[in-house]
Amino acid sequence: MRGYASIVLIVLVGLSSLSFSFSEPKGEYLQKGYYIVVAAYRMGQEKYMESYVDKLNKTGLHTKYGFDAGRKFYYIYLDYYTNFDESIQQMLNTRKQGGFTDAWVRIMKEGENPVPVVANPVAPIAKPEVKEESKPEFAVEEKKADEIVSEKVQVVIEEPTSDKKTEAVAPSLKEASVLFYLYNPTNSEPIEGQVEIIDADVAQLIKKVKAHEVAPIPDPKNKSGKISLIASSFGYRKVQHDFVLSEITPENMPEYMEWRDNHYVIKFDLARLLRGDIETLYNVYFFNDAAVMMPDSKYELNRLLDMMNSNKDYRITLHGHTNGNARGKIIKMGPSKNFFELSNDVIEDSGTAKELSNQRALAIKEWLIANGIDGNRINVKAWGGTRMIHDKNSNNARRNVRVEVEILAD
């Protein structure tokens, strides 16, 4: 019995020592709000986390870190907000201007973490003023010392939760503001794009609205009250939602809607294009009679580039089209390969409409190659004016001049 008691005592002492060896997380717990996050670390990686924070702050930023007891991760964040919409907008700005292309929003709900007892709790930090020359030149997923890497937590803005808790005073959709939230369902990343608001009775466009902006939804003022919302972003399949505007209230919403922060959030899960899909580069413009693109084309070209980079198995055909089949002047890029300017070395020639459409498609292919895409993934096909979608003398004739992207393999 004495030996048994000794064993029990040893076990108890061992358990006691284990309980005392548990280390509390460093710093503060993240409290309720929305955090612009740029990296995440496990417990035990505090040394590398603090080193990374120090490295960021030496560039002129004011980064901090906090612990999420629910997920048991430290999050390095640039900013903190109490408003969901403001956090989304600032996150998108951070991706574009701050050098953190994978920044995301960590949503902390009330009660998710214990409130620490501290003398000086962390206050919300001010928006960092990052000068152009001080942008970090390193990636968030950069390797740390001893080959320990920051945990690759879902590097996305987190989609609004669907608890659908509402206040009694919440208005109907017809009387409220709306945020159109476009995202990729495979990784929950937000997608820049637009939503067309359509009068469903006559299939007429009422208004186009940019994604992730809060605005009132217009009343179609038609007989049925039906409205259609069509969300689109180049490189993704369009998604359409149809409903009767006056019937939507916080107590009666379809699954793709939520009432949050005093407005409705209407969600659109846009999937990437698949084999056989065809998308038109309507926002890629060419100078007259030229296979040289206008500067305004860069935005949509970058979306095409993003699409090609998102899936290395994508193979495409670029279909070139013109307005009519008349023969005429053709202006081509010169040796300087200036894709967006009629420079002094452009080459003037003449040829058929089919030749012009071929040169325009080739210009886009060359631009993709110049930006790192393997040319073997891109085919070109010229149609001239044989597949016009509007009368060549109509007000919409300009839309005949286009390049279409067909997905051959995904």
Q: What is the 3-state secondary structure (H, E, C) of 82-131?
A: CCHHHHHHHHHHHHHHCCCCCCEEEEECCCCCCCCCCCCCCCCCCCCCCC
**Residue that the structure tokens 């005949």 belong to:** 400
**Residue that the structure tokens 């890029």 belong to:** 333
Question: What share of the chain has pLDDT > 70, as a percent?
Answer: 80
Does 319 have pLDDT greater than 80? yes
How sure is the predictor about 82, in pLDDT bands with cuts at 50, 70 and 90?
confident
More confident residue, 217 or 170: 217
Pairing of strands 315-321, 378-384: parallel
d(CA 152, CA 51): 18
C-alpha dihedral (104, 110, 114, 119), degrees to nearest 10: 90
> Under DSSP, is residue 139 helix (H, G, I), strand (E, B) or coil?
coil
Burial class (CB in 10 A: 0-12, 13-18, 19+), 12: exposed
Pairing of strands 263-269, 177-183: parallel
pLDDT at position 346, please?
A: 95
Does 7 have pLDDT greater than 90? no
300 residue type, one letter: E
User: Using the 8-state DSSP alphabet, how is residue 27 labeled?
Assistant: S
Does 365 have pLDDT greater than 60? yes
234 residue type, one letter: F
- Name all domains of the chain by residue range, CATH numbers in brackets: 28-129 (3.30.70.1070), 173-269 (2.60.40), 278-409 (3.30.1330.60)
Rounded to the nearest 10 degrees, the angle between the axes of helix 298-310 and helix 353-370 is 60
Does 17 have pLDDT greater than 90? no
Does 74 have pLDDT greater than 50? yes
Instruction: Compute the mean pLDDT over every residue in the chain, rounded to the nearest whole number.
Output: 80
Pairing of strands 226-232, 194-199: antiparallel
What mean pLDDT comes out for the span 145-173? 45
Does 392 have pLDDT greater than 90? no
- Residue 13, H or E segment: helix 2-21
pLDDT at position 112, please?
A: 56
Per the CB < 8 A criterion, the answer to whether 408 and 275 are in contact is yes
**Residue that the structure tokens 């973490």 belong to:** 113
Q: Which of 334, 304, 299, 331 is nearest to 317 (CA)?
A: 304
